[in-house]
Amino acid sequence: MRKTSSALLAVAIAGGLTSLAAAQANGSYVFTGDSTGSTNANRVFHLPTGAASPTIVNDFGSSAWLRGIAVGGNNRLFVGNGPFPVMQPVNTTTMMYTVDNWFGVPPTVAALQNGDPIQLPNQHIFHAPYNGLITVNNPGSQTPLPNRSEGIYHINANSGATTLMFAEPPPGSPLPYYNAGGAVTDWDNNADTFFVTAVSGSPTLEPPGGTPGQRASTLHRLDVNPGTLAATESLILDLGNTAQTGFAKPIGRANGIANIGDSLFIATFDFEDAVSRVFRADLTPAGTVASFALVLDNLPFVNDIVYNPYNGKLALTDRSASPGIWEFNPNGTGLTKILDDGTRPDRLAVIPAPSAFALIGLGTLVAARRRR
């Protein structure tokens, strides 16, 4: 009778989970709420494929100010937290959380990394070969800030231990240089190479005649020693240099980057025209820029861009007065707003279907039933 009950329980649970997963196609999105929205800044959302509105995965409370988000093994979410101003004189705030068992059940939330040297994780990606998060640490213009640490860090996905991969050069260094980290992406089939944007790395002001805080952006390559995780940085494109880009004006606020094959897609914002644009940089085998072109123009205030391998589209987070999420084809066609209910997203990540993740829970439930 016990075997029959266990079998029936397994079938029932599996049937329910299969129905649940069937309604959730590969490639749905999770995202953090925009830090400028008081009701969104402390929340992580899940947008099921085809849904008109997202569900709240977790509310981190009023003291949180969520930043980036990434997805690891078993659909574990890695959520960056960056309250501003940074705690002084020593930062002990939880800067990176993990969220497990979050699909369809109350999630398990834990602190992964606390305090310095992470001070504001602007964006991060999960990189399986290094079992960790490649993290853009950018505490902004806060002064004074004891123990200021800016650059690219690795955060171990299990222990939360941090390793400095690349330190941002000190203020006053000759421009162009990596200044004010924007975003990072890996490179398909190149486990030890990454590309990062610097929001204000160019010597050229954007818009023309703007303030030093509105310098144009730069694009950099990081070549990493997998043994030490130390990275060698190379400037590969000054987005403020129109002779290099072929674009009519300097390009600024490159705060998002995504990779498809040997192409990079960079999300930017033009302070003068008050529009966002997406550019495409095609790479040589050596990781330099072979060509650069405009893909999308006259977009609202875009903050992040990710590639969804499950539908072959790129997705953008829109932080304008009419916020949401957009998808489009890599050639710039098919721009479609897939979230338009007023929720204001900040950073975005793609998740696979929850079926495999849910079946782990199924096994646990059946085992518990058998022990009874």
Encode pLDDT of 131-148 as tens digits. 999 999 998 877 777 788
DSSP string, 162-228: EEEEEEPPPTTPPSSS--SEEEEEEETTEEEEEEEEETT-SSSBSSTT--GGGBBPEEEEEEE-TTT
Q: Inter-axis angle of helices 355-371 and 2-22, to 10 degrees?
A: 160
Say which residues have a Cβ less than 8 Å from residue 180's Cβ, sequence separation at least 6. Answer: 138, 140, 198, 199, 200, 201
Mean pLDDT of the chain, nearest integer: 87
Structural domain boundaries in the chain: 1-24+354-372, 25-352
> In this model, does residue 206 exceed pLDDT 50?
yes
Radius of gyration of the chain measured on its C-alpha atoms: 21
Q: Rounded to an integer, what distance in angstroms lies between the CA atom of residue 248 and that of residue 238?
A: 14
Assigned superfamily of 25-352: TolB, C-terminal domain (2.120.10.30)
State residue 39's pLDDT score.
Answer: 65
Taking only the tens place, the pLDDT of each residue in 18-75 is: 434 434 457 899 999 986 655 677 899 999 999 999 999 999 988 888 999 999 999 9
- Across the range 154-178, mean pLDDT stands at 96
The answer to whether the CB of 324 falls within 8 A of the CB of 315 is no
Least confident of 9-23, 248-262, 312-326: 9-23
Mean pLDDT of the 215-226 span: 97
Q: Give me the half-sphere count of Cα atoms (radius 13 Å) on the Cβ side of residue 210.
A: 23
Question: What's the full length of the chain, in residues?
Answer: 372
pLDDT reported for residue 86: 84
Residue 216 has pLDDT above 50, yes or no: yes
pLDDT grade for 224, boundaries at 50, 70 and 90: very high
Mean pLDDT of the 119-136 span: 97
Task: Please state which of the ranges 95-99, 159-163, 176-180, 208-212 shows the lowest mean pLDDT.
Answer: 208-212
Q: Give the pLDDT mean for 110-131.
A: 96
| Half-sphere exposure at residue 100, Cβ-oriented, CA atoms within 13 angstroms | 11
How far does the chain reach from its first CA to its final CA, in angstroms? 13
Asked if 278 and 258 touch (Cβ cutoff 8 Å), the reply is no
Whole-prediction pTM: 0.88
Can you give the pLDDT at residue 353?
64
Encode pLDDT of 336-367 as tens digits: 999 999 999 999 999 986 544 444 344 333 33
| Residue 363, pLDDT score | 39
Half-sphere exposure of 342 (CA within 13 A, CB side): 1
**From residue 181, how far is each of 99, 141, 153, 220, 310 by CA, in Å?**
25, 12, 11, 10, 28
Residue 329, helix vs strand vs coil: coil
For Cα atoms 22, 23, 24, give the angle at the middle one, nearest 5 degrees: 90
Question: Looking at residue 319, what is its pLDDT?
Answer: 92
Which pLDDT does position 36 carry in this prediction?
Answer: 63
User: What confidence score (pLDDT) does residue 90 get?
Assistant: 83
Taking the C-alpha atoms of residue 171 and residue 177, their distance in angstroms, rounded to an integer, is 10
Q: Which residues contact 242 (CB under 8 A, 6 or more apart)?
A: 248, 249, 250
Distant-in-sequence, close-in-space partners of 256: CB < 8 Å, separation ≥ 6? 123, 182, 183, 197, 266, 267, 302, 303, 304, 305, 316, 317
The torsion angles phi and psi of 128, rounded to 5 degrees, stand at -60, -40
Tokens of 357: 């993740």
Banded pLDDT at 213 (limits 50, 70, 90): low
pLDDT tens for each residue of 83-113: 888 888 888 899 999 999 998 778 999 999 9
Token pair belonging to 292: 């650069």
d(CA 203, CA 205) in angstroms, rounded, equals 7
How large is the average pLDDT for residues 125-135?
A: 98
Instruction: Give the model's pLDDT for residue 327.
Output: 98
The Cα angle at residue 120 between residues 268 and 229, in degrees rounded to 5? 90
Beta carbons of 327 and 340 less than 8 angstroms apart: no
